[in-house]
Amino acid sequence: MPEAALHRELLARMWLNRAFEEKVSELYASRVITGLLHLAIGQEAVAVGACSHLRTDDWVLGGHRSHGHAVAKGADVKRLMAEIAGRATGYCGGKGGSMHLVAMDAGFVTATGVVGGQIPLALGAAFAAKEGGRQQVAVVFFGDGAGQSGAFHESLNIASLWRLPLVFVCENNGYAEFTPLSAHTLVERLARHAETYGMPAHTLDGNDLLAVHDAMGKAVSQARAGKGPVFVECLTHRMRGHYEGDPAKYRELSQLAEWKEKDPIARFARMIETRSGLTAAEHGAIEADARARIEDAAQFAIASPWPDADEADTQVSAGHG
């Protein structure tokens, strides 16, 4: 794709992610959506930059803050929204919800509400991809808080030892719930752990979409070429609280203002105005288009039926296939 077209495409994906999360927030405020919600507003460049290199049959796994990963992987935003709203038309028939999204038609294998739990699962997706011999890769997203889990360390070791086609994407937003990273570890650059386990690792500005896009392009090609895993640490910031409703008193207001300056969408748009001649009108149209698609998704969710009561305890076990 020519660069100017690529830039516009990436901007559209950023807006789709942002609009999705803002709509979820709005529907939560009006009680259409209930539950424990973790939004990734401010972190869109990581999801979009990483997933832009992936094929539909590549595998992506995420955690509790993964709406955007599923959107960026190409999952149907209507079925995602309906799932988060607990509707029968959701990807999981309402049985998964915000923290447990699965969209296999888009290669989004699973998200999990157990911090770090997705990382070992991603080893398995990568193991199967390697054995399948079709140059598939797996990408796993997780936060800095997961970096102190046993699952993380065991998995780095195994991925590296077995040269699995897996890209570890750490979204280092500096906080785990309400606690800064410095209170959890002396090793604040998580990429250093990857180096310890013999894996190439990069730390970069995760609010710079093109930086993520470039680094992920190289990482995914390396994994696809059978050269083993890569670790990409993206320094970023969540502009909302840990969960919807979190008053976020632990953060300085000045900090938030500083990060608003670094809003990945505004930054990227400014950059491509000069580099690719993006006009304000074009930008407005891209944003409006994304918001319209998400509005459709919201209306779809709202109009969708609730799951039948007798669905509550079905699918506990799979029938024989």
Partner 1 sequence: MAEQSLLEAIREGLHEEMARDPAVYMLGEDVALGGPFGVTAGLAEAFGTQRVVNTPISEGAVMGLAIGAAAVGLRPVIEIMFIDFITLAMDQLVNHAAKLHYMSGGQLKIPLTVRVQCGISGNMGAQHSQSLEAWLAHVPGLKVVTPSCPADAKGLIKAAIRDDNPVVFIEHRGLYWARGEAAGAGAAVTPIGEAAVLREGEHITIATFGRQVAAALEAAAELAPQGISAEVIDLRSLQPLDMDTLVESVRKTGRLLVVHEAVSEGGIGAEIAMRVQQAAFYDLDGPILRLAAPFSPIPASSALDRFFVPGKAEILRAVRGAFRRQGAGG
Ligand X SMILES: Cc1ncc(C[n+]2csc(CCOP(=O)(O)OP(=O)(O)O)c2C)c(N)n1
Picked from ligand X, partner 1, none, the partner binding residue 146 (CB below 5 to 8 A depending on kind) is ligand X
Residue 242 C-beta: closest distance to ligand X, Å: 6
**Does residue 304 interact with partner 1 by CB under 8 A?**
no
φ/ψ of residue 210, rounded to 5: -70, -30
**Does residue 169 interact with partner 1 by CB under 8 A?**
no
User: Closest residue to ligand X, Cβ-based?
Assistant: 143
Tally Cβ neighbours within 10 Å of residue 154.
15
**Does residue 319 interact with partner 1 by CB under 8 A?**
yes
- Rounded Cα distance, 43 and 87, in Å: 27
Residue 13 C-beta: closest distance to ligand X, Å: 20
**Does residue 139 interact with partner 1 by CB under 8 A?**
no
249: amino acid identity, one letter = K
**How many residues make contact with partner 1 (CB under 8 A)?**
45
**Does residue 95 interact with partner 1 by CB under 8 A?**
yes
| Cβ pair 175, 115 in contact under 8 A | no
Residue 100 C-beta: closest distance to partner 1, Å: 4
Residue 21 C-beta: closest distance to partner 1, Å: 21
Nearer to partner 1, 102 or 219 (CB): 102
**Does residue 36 interact with partner 1 by CB under 8 A?**
no
Picked from ligand X, partner 1, none, the partner binding residue 177 (CB below 5 to 8 A depending on kind) is ligand X
Q: Which of 42, 62, 74, 96 binds partner 1 (CB under 8 A)?
A: 96
Q: Spell out, one character per residue from 47 to 66, where the chain touches partner 1: x when CB under 8 A holds, - when not.
A: ------------x-x-----
- Contact positions vs partner 1 (CB under 8 A): 59, 61, 90-96, 100, 102-104, 109-110, 112, 114, 117, 119-129, 131-132, 150-151, 154-155, 157-158, 161, 315-321
